[in-house]
Chain A
Protein backbone atom coordinates (compact mmCIF):
# COMPACT_ATOMS: atom_id res chain seq x y z
CA UNK A 1 0.00 0.00 0.00
CA UNK A 2 1.47 3.31 -1.00
CA UNK A 3 0.17 5.28 1.90
CA UNK A 4 2.21 7.21 4.36
CA UNK A 5 0.78 8.62 7.52
CA UNK A 6 2.95 11.42 8.66
CA UNK A 7 3.20 13.59 11.73
CA UNK A 8 0.97 16.64 11.57
CA UNK A 9 2.53 19.86 12.73
CA UNK A 10 0.24 22.40 14.26
CA UNK A 11 -1.03 24.98 11.74
CA UNK A 12 0.56 23.16 8.82
CA UNK A 13 -1.09 22.70 5.48
CA UNK A 14 -1.68 18.97 5.12
CA UNK A 15 -0.90 17.62 1.70
CA UNK A 16 -1.87 14.39 -0.04
CA UNK A 17 0.25 13.51 -3.08
CA UNK A 18 -1.37 11.29 -5.71
CA UNK A 19 1.26 10.43 -8.31
CA UNK A 20 2.33 7.08 -9.72
CA UNK A 21 5.93 8.02 -10.57
CA UNK A 22 7.29 7.23 -7.12
CA UNK A 23 10.68 8.90 -7.40
CA UNK A 24 9.05 12.18 -8.38
CA UNK A 25 6.33 11.83 -5.74
CA UNK A 26 8.97 11.30 -3.07
CA UNK A 27 11.00 14.25 -4.36
CA UNK A 28 7.87 16.39 -4.30
CA UNK A 29 7.23 15.28 -0.72
CA UNK A 30 10.77 16.38 0.08
CA UNK A 31 10.17 19.80 -1.48
CA UNK A 32 7.04 20.34 0.62
CA UNK A 33 8.49 18.90 3.80
CA UNK A 34 11.39 21.32 3.79
CA UNK A 35 8.93 24.22 3.99
CA UNK A 36 7.75 24.84 7.52
CA UNK A 37 4.13 25.45 6.65
CA UNK A 38 3.61 22.14 4.85
CA UNK A 39 3.34 18.57 5.99
CA UNK A 40 2.81 15.66 3.65
CA UNK A 41 0.23 13.50 5.39
CA UNK A 42 -0.24 10.98 2.61
CA UNK A 43 1.27 9.61 -0.56
CA UNK A 44 -0.62 7.45 -3.02
CA UNK A 45 0.49 5.87 -6.28
CA UNK A 46 -2.98 5.07 -7.56
CA UNK A 47 -6.63 6.04 -7.25
CA UNK A 48 -7.27 3.03 -5.02
CA UNK A 49 -4.50 4.07 -2.64
CA UNK A 50 -5.74 7.66 -2.56
CA UNK A 51 -9.29 6.52 -1.77
CA UNK A 52 -8.02 4.16 0.93
CA UNK A 53 -6.16 7.05 2.52
CA UNK A 54 -9.20 9.31 2.40
CA UNK A 55 -11.31 6.62 4.03
CA UNK A 56 -8.78 6.05 6.78
CA UNK A 57 -7.75 9.67 7.34
CA UNK A 58 -10.69 11.77 6.13
CA UNK A 59 -9.61 14.87 8.04
CA UNK A 60 -5.93 14.81 7.23
CA UNK A 61 -5.92 16.64 3.89
CA UNK A 62 -6.13 20.34 3.09
CA UNK A 63 -4.67 20.18 -0.41
CA UNK A 64 -4.39 17.18 -2.72
CA UNK A 65 -1.88 17.33 -5.56
CA UNK A 66 -3.25 14.91 -8.13
CA UNK A 67 -1.84 13.52 -11.37
CA UNK A 68 -4.48 12.77 -14.00
CA UNK A 69 -2.94 9.65 -15.55
CA UNK A 70 -2.86 6.97 -12.88
CA UNK A 71 -2.43 3.21 -13.32
CA UNK A 72 -6.05 2.47 -12.38
CA UNK A 73 -7.72 5.30 -14.28
CA UNK A 74 -7.82 9.04 -14.72
CA UNK A 75 -8.12 11.34 -11.73
CA UNK A 76 -11.42 13.05 -12.57
CA UNK A 77 -13.59 10.91 -10.30
CA UNK A 78 -11.16 11.35 -7.42
CA UNK A 79 -11.17 15.12 -7.96
CA UNK A 80 -14.97 15.11 -7.70
CA UNK A 81 -14.80 13.11 -4.48
CA UNK A 82 -12.21 15.47 -3.01
CA UNK A 83 -14.23 18.51 -4.08
CA UNK A 84 -17.21 17.18 -2.16
CA UNK A 85 -15.24 17.33 1.09
CA UNK A 86 -15.37 20.70 2.85
CA UNK A 87 -12.03 22.43 3.08
CA UNK A 88 -10.20 20.14 0.66
CA UNK A 89 -8.70 21.69 -2.47
CA UNK A 90 -7.14 19.92 -5.42
CA UNK A 91 -4.22 21.01 -7.55
CA UNK A 92 -3.87 18.97 -10.74
CA UNK A 93 -0.28 18.33 -11.81
CA UNK A 94 -0.26 16.59 -15.16
CA UNK A 95 2.02 15.79 -18.08
CA UNK A 96 -0.92 15.97 -20.44
CA UNK A 97 -0.78 18.56 -23.19
CA UNK A 98 -4.51 18.38 -23.88
CA UNK A 99 -6.26 21.55 -22.67
CA UNK A 100 -9.53 19.58 -22.67
CA UNK A 101 -8.21 17.34 -19.89
CA UNK A 102 -7.29 20.33 -17.75
CA UNK A 103 -10.72 21.78 -18.48
CA UNK A 104 -12.37 18.55 -17.42
CA UNK A 105 -10.38 18.59 -14.19
CA UNK A 106 -11.64 22.09 -13.44
CA UNK A 107 -15.17 20.98 -14.18
CA UNK A 108 -14.67 18.08 -11.74
CA UNK A 109 -13.72 20.57 -9.04
CA UNK A 110 -9.96 21.18 -9.28
CA UNK A 111 -8.93 24.53 -7.84
CA UNK A 112 -5.89 24.78 -10.07
CA UNK A 113 -4.06 23.02 -12.87
CA UNK A 114 -0.33 22.93 -13.57
CA UNK A 115 1.67 21.20 -16.25
CA UNK A 116 4.66 19.15 -15.13
CA UNK A 117 6.89 21.34 -17.25
CA UNK A 118 6.43 23.97 -14.53
CA UNK A 119 9.35 24.70 -12.24
CA UNK A 120 9.21 22.71 -9.01
CA UNK A 121 9.03 26.01 -7.11
CA UNK A 122 5.87 26.91 -8.99
CA UNK A 123 4.22 23.74 -7.73
CA UNK A 124 5.05 24.57 -4.12
CA UNK A 125 4.00 28.18 -4.63
CA UNK A 126 0.70 27.13 -6.21
CA UNK A 127 -0.21 25.13 -3.11
CA UNK A 128 0.81 28.05 -0.92
CA UNK A 129 -1.44 30.39 -2.91
CA UNK A 130 -4.36 27.96 -2.79
CA UNK A 131 -4.07 27.60 0.96
CA UNK A 132 -3.96 31.36 1.41
CA UNK A 133 -7.27 31.61 -0.40
CA UNK A 134 -5.91 32.94 -3.66
CA UNK A 135 -7.55 31.75 -6.86
CA UNK A 136 -5.14 30.14 -9.29
CA UNK A 137 -7.59 30.52 -12.13
CA UNK A 138 -9.44 33.69 -13.03
CA UNK A 139 -13.22 33.51 -13.50
CA UNK A 140 -12.66 34.08 -17.23
CA UNK A 141 -10.29 31.10 -17.40
CA UNK A 142 -12.74 28.89 -15.53
CA UNK A 143 -15.58 29.93 -17.83
CA UNK A 144 -13.45 29.25 -20.92
CA UNK A 145 -12.53 25.82 -19.58
CA UNK A 146 -16.14 24.95 -18.83
CA UNK A 147 -17.10 26.06 -22.34
CA UNK A 148 -14.37 23.83 -23.74
CA UNK A 149 -15.70 20.83 -21.81
CA UNK A 150 -19.20 21.60 -23.02
CA UNK A 151 -18.05 21.88 -26.65
CA UNK A 152 -16.07 18.68 -26.37
CA UNK A 153 -19.06 16.87 -24.90
CA UNK A 154 -21.32 18.15 -27.69
CA UNK A 155 -18.80 17.04 -30.33
CA UNK A 156 -18.60 13.62 -28.76
CA UNK A 157 -22.40 13.37 -28.67
CA UNK A 158 -22.68 14.32 -32.34
CA UNK A 159 -19.93 11.87 -33.28
CA UNK A 160 -21.75 9.05 -31.50
CA UNK A 161 -24.97 9.98 -33.29
CA UNK A 162 -23.14 9.83 -36.63
CA UNK A 163 -21.54 6.49 -35.79
CA UNK A 164 -24.95 5.04 -34.91
CA UNK A 165 -26.13 5.86 -38.45
CA UNK A 166 -23.46 3.66 -40.03
CA UNK A 167 -24.53 0.22 -41.17
CA UNK A 168 -22.47 -2.86 -40.23
CA UNK A 169 -21.26 -3.03 -43.85
CA UNK A 170 -20.13 0.59 -43.79
CA UNK A 171 -18.21 -0.10 -40.58
CA UNK A 172 -16.50 -3.01 -42.32
CA UNK A 173 -15.49 -0.68 -45.15
CA UNK A 174 -14.05 1.75 -42.61
CA UNK A 175 -12.17 -1.03 -40.85
CA UNK A 176 -10.69 -2.16 -44.18
CA UNK A 177 -9.70 1.45 -44.85
CA UNK A 178 -7.95 1.44 -41.49
CA UNK A 179 -5.97 -1.59 -42.63
CA UNK A 180 -4.52 0.56 -45.38
CA UNK A 181 -6.51 -0.98 -48.24
CA UNK A 182 -7.48 1.00 -51.32
CA UNK A 183 -10.86 0.93 -53.03
CA UNK A 184 -10.09 -2.14 -55.13
CA UNK A 185 -8.63 -4.12 -52.22
CA UNK A 186 -11.58 -3.25 -49.99
CA UNK A 187 -13.96 -4.46 -52.69
CA UNK A 188 -12.05 -7.72 -53.00
CA UNK A 189 -11.88 -8.22 -49.25
CA UNK A 190 -15.61 -7.70 -48.82
CA UNK A 191 -16.55 -9.56 -52.03
CA UNK A 192 -18.29 -6.55 -53.53
CA UNK A 193 -17.74 -4.56 -56.70
CA UNK A 194 -15.61 -1.45 -56.73
CA UNK A 195 -18.74 0.55 -57.60
CA UNK A 196 -20.51 -0.78 -54.51
CA UNK A 197 -17.48 0.04 -52.38
CA UNK A 198 -17.58 3.60 -53.72
CA UNK A 199 -21.29 3.86 -52.97
CA UNK A 200 -20.59 2.75 -49.39
CA UNK A 201 -17.82 5.33 -49.11
CA UNK A 202 -20.03 8.16 -50.39
CA UNK A 203 -22.64 7.20 -47.79
CA UNK A 204 -19.98 7.05 -45.05
CA UNK A 205 -18.66 10.50 -45.93
CA UNK A 206 -22.19 11.89 -45.81
CA UNK A 207 -23.09 10.32 -42.49
CA UNK A 208 -19.84 11.38 -40.82
CA UNK A 209 -19.98 14.83 -42.43
CA UNK A 210 -16.44 14.59 -43.77
CA UNK A 211 -15.09 15.18 -47.26
CA UNK A 212 -12.45 12.54 -47.95
CA UNK A 213 -11.44 8.97 -47.21
CA UNK A 214 -8.59 10.31 -45.10
CA UNK A 215 -10.94 12.44 -43.00
CA UNK A 216 -13.24 9.46 -42.56
CA UNK A 217 -10.31 7.38 -41.38
CA UNK A 218 -9.18 10.05 -38.90
CA UNK A 219 -12.74 10.37 -37.57
CA UNK A 220 -13.06 6.59 -37.21
CA UNK A 221 -9.72 6.25 -35.45
CA UNK A 222 -10.41 9.16 -33.11
CA UNK A 223 -13.69 7.67 -32.00
CA UNK A 224 -12.49 4.10 -31.68
CA UNK A 225 -14.40 2.86 -34.69
CA UNK A 226 -11.33 1.35 -36.28
CA UNK A 227 -8.14 0.01 -34.84
CA UNK A 228 -5.02 1.24 -36.60
CA UNK A 229 -2.25 -1.35 -36.41
Chain B
Protein backbone atom coordinates (compact mmCIF):
# COMPACT_ATOMS: atom_id res chain seq x y z
CA UNK B 1 0.00 0.00 0.00
CA UNK B 2 1.05 3.56 -0.57
CA UNK B 3 3.07 5.15 2.15
CA UNK B 4 2.39 8.77 2.78
CA UNK B 5 5.51 10.83 2.23
CA UNK B 6 7.28 8.33 0.00
CA UNK B 7 7.64 8.04 -3.71
CA UNK B 8 5.59 5.27 -5.20
CA UNK B 9 7.81 2.70 -6.84
CA UNK B 10 7.05 1.95 -10.45
CA UNK B 11 6.38 -1.47 -11.86
CA UNK B 12 7.10 -2.88 -15.29
CA UNK B 13 3.53 -3.97 -15.75
CA UNK B 14 2.26 -0.48 -16.36
CA UNK B 15 1.18 1.02 -19.62
CA UNK B 16 -1.62 2.93 -21.19
CA UNK B 17 -2.98 0.85 -24.05
CA UNK B 18 -5.84 -0.46 -21.96
CA UNK B 19 -7.22 2.86 -20.89
CA UNK B 20 -10.85 3.41 -21.61
CA UNK B 21 -11.76 6.13 -24.04
CA UNK B 22 -11.44 9.62 -22.63
CA UNK B 23 -14.75 11.05 -21.60
CA UNK B 24 -16.12 7.75 -20.39
CA UNK B 25 -17.56 8.71 -17.05
CA UNK B 26 -17.25 5.15 -15.81
CA UNK B 27 -13.64 4.84 -16.75
CA UNK B 28 -12.04 1.82 -15.15
CA UNK B 29 -8.39 1.46 -16.06
CA UNK B 30 -7.30 -2.10 -16.74
CA UNK B 31 -3.89 -3.58 -16.07
CA UNK B 32 -2.00 -3.96 -19.38
CA UNK B 33 -1.32 -7.40 -20.88
CA UNK B 34 1.86 -6.75 -22.84
CA UNK B 35 3.40 -3.36 -22.33
CA UNK B 36 6.52 -4.16 -24.37
CA UNK B 37 4.64 -3.78 -27.68
CA UNK B 38 2.83 -0.67 -26.66
CA UNK B 39 3.75 2.55 -28.52
CA UNK B 40 2.66 4.55 -25.51
CA UNK B 41 5.00 2.52 -23.32
CA UNK B 42 7.83 3.15 -25.77
CA UNK B 43 7.09 6.86 -25.68
CA UNK B 44 7.11 6.67 -21.91
CA UNK B 45 10.44 4.91 -22.03
CA UNK B 46 11.80 7.75 -24.14
CA UNK B 47 10.52 10.25 -21.60
CA UNK B 48 12.17 8.24 -18.85
CA UNK B 49 15.53 8.67 -20.52
CA UNK B 50 15.07 12.42 -20.37
CA UNK B 51 14.32 12.41 -16.63
CA UNK B 52 11.26 11.42 -14.70
CA UNK B 53 8.57 14.03 -14.15
CA UNK B 54 7.26 14.35 -10.63
CA UNK B 55 3.69 14.60 -9.42
CA UNK B 56 3.07 15.68 -5.85
CA UNK B 57 -0.28 14.78 -4.32
CA UNK B 58 -1.39 16.71 -1.23
CA UNK B 59 -5.16 16.58 -1.56
CA UNK B 60 -7.74 15.49 0.98
CA UNK B 61 -9.13 13.10 1.96
CA UNK B 62 -6.50 10.39 2.17
CA UNK B 63 -8.52 7.76 0.29
CA UNK B 64 -8.73 10.12 -2.72
CA UNK B 65 -5.03 10.92 -2.53
CA UNK B 66 -3.89 7.34 -2.37
CA UNK B 67 -6.40 5.98 -4.88
CA UNK B 68 -5.59 8.53 -7.56
CA UNK B 69 -1.85 8.24 -6.86
CA UNK B 70 -2.06 4.49 -7.42
CA UNK B 71 -3.75 4.96 -10.78
CA UNK B 72 -1.23 7.55 -11.98
CA UNK B 73 1.65 5.33 -10.85
CA UNK B 74 0.32 2.34 -12.72
CA UNK B 75 -0.77 4.07 -15.90
CA UNK B 76 2.06 6.59 -16.10
CA UNK B 77 5.03 4.51 -14.88
CA UNK B 78 7.50 7.13 -16.06
CA UNK B 79 6.10 9.56 -13.50
CA UNK B 80 7.25 9.69 -9.90
CA UNK B 81 4.27 10.17 -7.64
CA UNK B 82 4.67 11.42 -4.10
CA UNK B 83 1.87 11.65 -1.57
CA UNK B 84 2.03 14.00 1.42
CA UNK B 85 -0.38 15.42 3.95
CA UNK B 86 -1.94 18.72 2.82
CA UNK B 87 -0.11 20.69 5.52
CA UNK B 88 3.20 19.57 4.01
CA UNK B 89 2.37 21.00 0.58
CA UNK B 90 4.59 24.09 0.63
CA UNK B 91 7.63 22.39 2.13
CA UNK B 92 7.25 19.47 -0.26
CA UNK B 93 7.15 21.84 -3.25
CA UNK B 94 10.41 23.33 -2.05
CA UNK B 95 12.08 19.99 -1.42
CA UNK B 96 10.88 17.94 -4.36
CA UNK B 97 10.32 20.46 -7.15
CA UNK B 98 7.28 18.70 -8.62
CA UNK B 99 6.20 19.25 -12.20
CA UNK B 100 2.58 18.93 -11.15
CA UNK B 101 0.63 19.16 -7.91
CA UNK B 102 -2.81 17.88 -6.99
CA UNK B 103 -4.15 19.50 -3.84
CA UNK B 104 -7.40 20.62 -2.20
CA UNK B 105 -6.38 24.24 -1.69
CA UNK B 106 -3.88 26.05 -3.88
CA UNK B 107 -1.34 28.05 -1.88
CA UNK B 108 0.72 31.04 -2.97
CA UNK B 109 3.83 28.86 -3.00
CA UNK B 110 2.07 26.47 -5.34
CA UNK B 111 0.76 29.17 -7.68
CA UNK B 112 4.14 30.84 -7.80
CA UNK B 113 6.32 27.79 -8.07
CA UNK B 114 4.59 25.02 -10.02
CA UNK B 115 3.49 25.26 -13.67
CA UNK B 116 0.78 22.62 -13.52
CA UNK B 117 -1.57 22.12 -10.62
CA UNK B 118 -5.06 20.90 -9.89
CA UNK B 119 -7.24 22.05 -7.03
CA UNK B 120 -9.31 18.90 -6.71
CA UNK B 121 -12.74 19.24 -5.07
CA UNK B 122 -11.87 22.31 -2.92
CA UNK B 123 -13.78 22.14 0.38
CA UNK B 124 -15.39 18.92 -0.84
CA UNK B 125 -17.10 20.76 -3.71
CA UNK B 126 -18.16 19.07 -6.94
CA UNK B 127 -15.95 21.24 -9.17
CA UNK B 128 -12.20 21.33 -9.65
CA UNK B 129 -9.80 23.94 -11.00
CA UNK B 130 -6.62 23.35 -12.96
CA UNK B 131 -3.79 25.60 -14.05
CA UNK B 132 -1.71 24.30 -16.94
CA UNK B 133 1.22 26.50 -17.80
CA UNK B 134 -0.69 29.55 -16.62
CA UNK B 135 -3.91 28.59 -18.41
CA UNK B 136 -6.78 28.23 -15.95
CA UNK B 137 -9.43 25.58 -16.52
CA UNK B 138 -12.54 24.73 -14.54
CA UNK B 139 -14.09 21.28 -14.45
CA UNK B 140 -17.65 20.83 -13.22
CA UNK B 141 -17.10 17.11 -12.85
CA UNK B 142 -13.49 16.13 -13.39
CA UNK B 143 -12.85 12.58 -14.55
CA UNK B 144 -9.86 10.34 -14.01
CA UNK B 145 -8.88 10.58 -17.71
CA UNK B 146 -8.87 14.38 -17.30
CA UNK B 147 -6.33 14.06 -14.50
CA UNK B 148 -4.21 11.68 -16.59
CA UNK B 149 -4.37 14.14 -19.47
CA UNK B 150 -3.13 16.92 -17.18
CA UNK B 151 -0.30 14.65 -16.04
CA UNK B 152 0.63 14.23 -19.73
CA UNK B 153 0.60 18.01 -20.21
CA UNK B 154 2.85 18.40 -17.18
CA UNK B 155 5.22 15.86 -18.71
CA UNK B 156 5.27 17.78 -21.97
CA UNK B 157 5.94 21.05 -20.21
CA UNK B 158 8.65 19.45 -18.10
CA UNK B 159 10.25 18.11 -21.30
CA UNK B 160 10.38 21.57 -22.84
CA UNK B 161 12.35 23.01 -19.92
Q: Which residues of A contact B (CB under 8 A)?
A: 2-4, 6, 20-24, 26-31, 33-34, 40, 43, 45, 69, 71, 93, 95, 115-121, 123
Report the count of interface residues on B (CB-CB < 8 A). 31
A22 touches B62 (CB 8 A): no
- For the complex, is B67 an interface residue (Cβ under 8 Å from A)? yes
Task: Across the interface, name the chain A residue whose C-beta is closest to B147.
Answer: A23
B31 touches A26 (CB 8 A): no
- For the complex, is B27 an interface residue (Cβ under 8 Å from A)? yes
17 A-B pairs within 8 Å (CB atoms) are namely A21-B126, A22-B142, A23-B128, A24-B63, A24-B67, A26-B71, A27-B64, A28-B67, A29-B27, A33-B30, A95-B124, A116-B61, A117-B62, A118-B62, A119-B63, A120-B63, A120-B70
Nearest-neighbour CB distance to chain B for A124, whole angstroms, equals 9
Cα(A171)–Cα(B142), bound, Å? 44
B144 touches A23 (CB 8 A): yes
A26, A119, A121: the one contacting B144 at CB < 8 Å is: A26
Which one of B62, B128, B146 has the highest number of Cβ atoms from chain A below 10 Å of its Cβ? B62
Cα(A114)–Cα(B101), bound, Å? 27
B28 touches A26 (CB 8 A): yes
State the total of A-B contacts with C-beta under 8 angstroms: 98
B63 touches A45 (CB 8 A): no
Contacts of B141 in A (CB 8 A): 22, 45
Q: Is the interface of A mostly helix, strand, loop or mixed?
A: mixed
Nearest-neighbour CB distance to chain B for A206, whole angstroms, equals 39
Q: A120-B1, A120-B2, A120-B70 are in contact. Are A26 and B26 (CB under 8 A)?
A: yes
Contacts of A43 in B (CB 8 A): 25-26, 28
Contacts of B99 in A (CB 8 A): none
A45 touches B25 (CB 8 A): yes
